[in-house]
Amino acid sequence: MIFFDIDDTLLDHKSSELLGVESFYEEYKHYFKLEKEMFYKLWCQISDKYFNSYLKREMTFEQQRIERMKSLFRYSNIKLGDEDANIKFKKYLINYEKNWKSYNDVVPCLKYLSRKYELGIISNGDLNQQLLKLEKMNIKQYFTNILTAGEVGISKPNIQLFNIACNRANRQPQECCYIGDNLYTDIIPCERIGMNGIWLNRRGETIIVNNIKTISNLNDLKSIFNKKI
């Protein structure tokens, strides 16, 4: 069984987010005394804070969206109500979703692996949104087991999320691989329960790791799994 992460593994999330934020910035930059780069940095800091609150079940998925927008405008001493915050977030969301796309290596890799292996998803995120991403990328059909943190209230790097995924697939951890872009939330914790982690280092991070398989793109998986077939 081969599990994948979604964001920045299959979906080019960073590019989609950046394009969505750029469109939002152009519409609302008169409220903020910030250059585009600093605005994007502020956006990411706020997004990380409230998305983590959602993962901890301190607020709903919809609430974290509203709170992100309220916090963003508070930076400029503007107080938004829930309805106005929701409207503004949806404007960002339209452009974010419009720019969803998979990396070029994704579809060839999934086509190849799905001939011999069962494929699954383990993702930190909201189930409905993650399913929509898979559908928009036209790759949902490759996956038989899909687990998101939003379903169970447990998020990576908590090893229990990986245990739940293996149990749902009726597999022992040692029978499963997990491919993700984050060494610390994806690979190290999955290996703690006995899964075979493969770190997808798309950004060429210079981190020295021992005894962890590392690839730079998904095409490299063919040589790894050829040895197992």
Residue-by-residue DSSP string for 172-200 = -GGG-EEEES-IIIIIHHHHHTT-EEEEE
Phi first, then psi: give them for residue 216, nearest 5 degrees. -100, -20
Residue-by-residue DSSP string for 65-127 = HHHHHHHHHHTTT-PPPHHHHHHHHHHHHHHHHHT--B-TTHHHHHHHHHTTS-EEEEESS-H
CA 189 to CA 169: how far, in whole Å?
Answer: 18
Tokens 């697939």 locate to: 169
pLDDT tens across 136-191, in order? 999 999 999 999 998 998 999 999 999 999 999 999 999 999 999 999 999 999 99
∠66-69-74 over CA atoms, to 5°? Answer: 125
Question: Which tokens sit at 27?
Answer: 């519409």
pLDDT tens across 46-98, in order? 999 999 898 888 999 999 999 999 999 999 999 999 999 999 999 999 999 99
pLDDT tops 60 at residue 6: yes
With contact defined as beta carbons under 8 Å apart, do 176 and 161 qualify? no
With contact defined as beta carbons under 8 Å apart, do 136 and 100 qualify? yes
Tell me which residue of 171, 202, 176 sits closest to 191, measured CA to CA: 176
Q: Average pLDDT of 117-145?
A: 97
Beginning with the edge strand found earlier in the chain, give each strand of the sheet holding 177-180 in spatial order: 143-148, 119-123, 2-4, 177-180, 196-200, 213-215
pLDDT tops 50 at residue 117: yes
What single letter denotes the amino acid at residue 31? Y
Domains and CATH numbers, the chain: 2-12+101-226 (3.40.50.1000), 13-98 (1.10.150)
Chain-centre distance for alpha carbon 117: 22
Predicted local distance difference test score (pLDDT) of residue 228 = 52
Tell me which residue of 198, 147, 188, 194 sits closest to 169, measured CA to CA: 147
Q: What is the pTM of this model?
A: 0.91
